[in-house]
């Protein structure tokens, strides 16, 4: 089969990378990032935290086991594009219900294959995540650079991926948890429901009074896309809840909680995205292998003077991976203990939250 290089990436420095199109058509201006996971492309494709991003998969082969309905992390994936070295359009898996490319067409997600993804990975590591244009191979460079310059990455990603209505999961559960959906993965809700929690999922901008009217045993703040400072309403709601109800946050939720306490966040050069990040639990000294997907981190120095203290640290770059206020019954982590597929080292964090709820 002859490969037709009919699509390309244009970077802001004028460099171009050609490849073969799969998935949906059309031009896209996105933030380009990379993920080092070997498996789990369906969960990555459907993770709302990748909204408006083009994800380079550094493992060479993608699509080989197809797509299964039960494995989506959101029902309406919002990732911008998937960039792979080799795309397999003939999956071999008894659970597969459609190919990766067909799913991407259905959800209007662009794809490029045949690209040297390891080279792109090194480029992003050296220069940082940045804007990129995905367009046709015949588009003149000058035209592409102009479009790239004129198009900004939106700052309303959370509002676009959060639920539009309140809904309940496992209403017979013993412990009532209100989950603030900032782009929440489905396996988070499953993890809470599996621990006898009745989960009420609410939109990202639900008010403090509305949440407290549910009389929850605890509140969960979810993962989600973009800069945590783009959701000041959620930060203010969390600030009002501190000390009044147990709170657990993951990823963006970790950043929101830290900002609510008065700490600061900053953007990492190229973020953390993969299924093998080593994180040290400072209380036990144990090392957890974790799944991660985020562009921002909490400034460790800024935690001083707040009621939060760092509980976990990333061993690759010493960034803060967890924070806690024991007296307020609040804790959070930057990584994903619900990872699916992925390491299961951190599932105990859901049990920790449950134990706090049991204590009343």
pLDDT of residue 2: 64
Query: Which residue in 176, 255, 241, 182 sits closest to 208, CA to CA?
Result: 241
Burial, 196: exposed, middle or buried (Cβ in 10 Å; 0-12, 13-18, 19+)?
middle
For the chain, the domains span 7-153, 158-359
Which residues are annotated as catalytic? Answer: 251, 336, 338
Q: What is the pLDDT of residues 156-176, one digit of tens each?
A: 999 999 999 999 999 999 999
Looking at the chain, the whole-number percentage of residues with pLDDT higher than 90 is 97
Read off the pLDDT of each residue in 130-143 and give the average, rounded to a whole number: 97
Q: In CATH, what number does 158-359 get?
A: 3.40.50.880
* Length of the chain, in residues: 360
Residue 252 has pLDDT above 60, yes or no: yes
- pLDDT of 341 reads 79
pLDDT digits (tens, 9 = 90+) for 202-221: 999 999 999 999 999 999 99
> Among 35, 181, 45, which Cα is nearest to 106's?
45
pLDDT tens readout for residues 254-273: 999 999 999 999 999 999 99
- 130-142: average pLDDT: 97
pTM listed for this prediction? 0.97
Q: What topology is assigned to 7-153 in CATH?
A: Glucose Oxidase; domain 1 (3.50.30)
Cα separation of the two ends of the chain: 64
Tell me the mean pLDDT in the region 10-35.
97
Q: Spell out the SS3 assignment of the chain.
A: CCCCCCEEEEECCCCEEEEEEEEECCCEEEEEEEECCCCCHHHHHCCHHHECEEEEECCCEECCCCECHHHCCCCCCCECEEECCEECCCCCCCCCCECHHHHHHHCCCEEEECCCHHHHHHHHHHHCCEEEEEEECCCCHHHHHHHHHHCCCCCCHHHHHCCCCCEEECCCCCEEEEEEECCCCHHHHHHHHCCCEEEEEEECCCCHHHHHCCCCCEEEECCCCCCHHHCHHHHHHHHHHCCCCCEEEECHHHHHHHHHCCCCEEEEEEEEEEEEEEEEECCCCCEEEEEEEEEEEECHHHHCCCCCEEEEEECCCCCEEEEEECCCCEEEECCCCCCCCCCCCCCHHHHHHHHHHHHC
Q: What is the pLDDT of residues 54-85, one digit of tens each?
A: 999 999 999 999 999 999 999 999 999 999 99
pLDDT classification of 4: cutoffs 50, 70, 90? confident
pLDDT at 1: 56
**pLDDT tens for each residue of 94-135:** 999 999 999 999 999 999 999 999 999 999 999 999 999 999
pLDDT tens for residues 289-328?
Answer: 999 999 999 999 999 999 999 999 999 999 999 999 999 9
């Amino acid at each position: 089969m002859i490969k037709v290089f009919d699509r390309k990436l244009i970077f802001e420095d004028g460099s171009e990378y050609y490849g073969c199109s799969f998935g949906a058509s059309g031009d896209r201006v996105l933030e380009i990032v990379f993920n080092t996971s070997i498996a789990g492309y369906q969960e990555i494709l459907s993770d709302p935290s990748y909204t408006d991003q083009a994800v380079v998969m550094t493992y060479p082969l993608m699509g080989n086991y197809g797509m299964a309905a039960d494995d989506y992390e959101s029902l309406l994936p919002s990732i911008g594009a998937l960039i792979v070295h080799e795309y397999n359009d003939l999956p071999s898996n008894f659970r597969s219900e459609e190919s990766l490319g067909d799913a991407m067409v259905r959800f209007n997600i662009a794809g490029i294959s045949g690209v040297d993804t390891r080279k792109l990975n090194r480029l992003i590591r050296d220069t940082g995540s940045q804007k990129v244009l995905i367009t046709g191979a015949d588009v003149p460079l000058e035209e592409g650079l102009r479009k790239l310059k004129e198009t900004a990455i939106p700052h309303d990603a959370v509002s676009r991926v959060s639920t539009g209505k309140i809904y309940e999961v496992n209403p017979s559960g013993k412990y009532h948890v209100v989950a603030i959906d900032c782009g929440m993965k489905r396996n988070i809700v499953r993890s809470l429901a599996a621990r006898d929690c009745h989960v009420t999922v609410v939109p990202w901008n639900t008010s403090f009074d509305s949440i407290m009217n549910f009389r929850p045993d605890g509140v969960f703040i979810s993962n989600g896309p973009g800069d945590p400072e783009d959701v000041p309403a959620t930060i203010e709601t969390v600030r009002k809840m501190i000390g009044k109800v147990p709170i657990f946050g993951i990823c963006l939720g970790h950043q929101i909680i830290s900002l609510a306490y008065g700490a600061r966040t900053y953007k990492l050069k190229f973020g953390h995205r993969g299924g093998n990040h080593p994180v040290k639990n400072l209380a036990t000294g144990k090392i957890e292998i974790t799944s991660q997907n985020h562009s921002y981190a909490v400034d460790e120095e800024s935690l001083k003077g707040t009621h939060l203290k760092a509980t976990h640290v990333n061993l690759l770059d010493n960034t803060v991976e967890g924070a806690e206020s024991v007296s307020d019954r609040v804790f959070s982590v930057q990584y994903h203990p619900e990872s699916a597929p992925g390491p299961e080292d951190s599932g105990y964090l859901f049990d920790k939250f449950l134990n706090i709820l049991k204590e009343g």
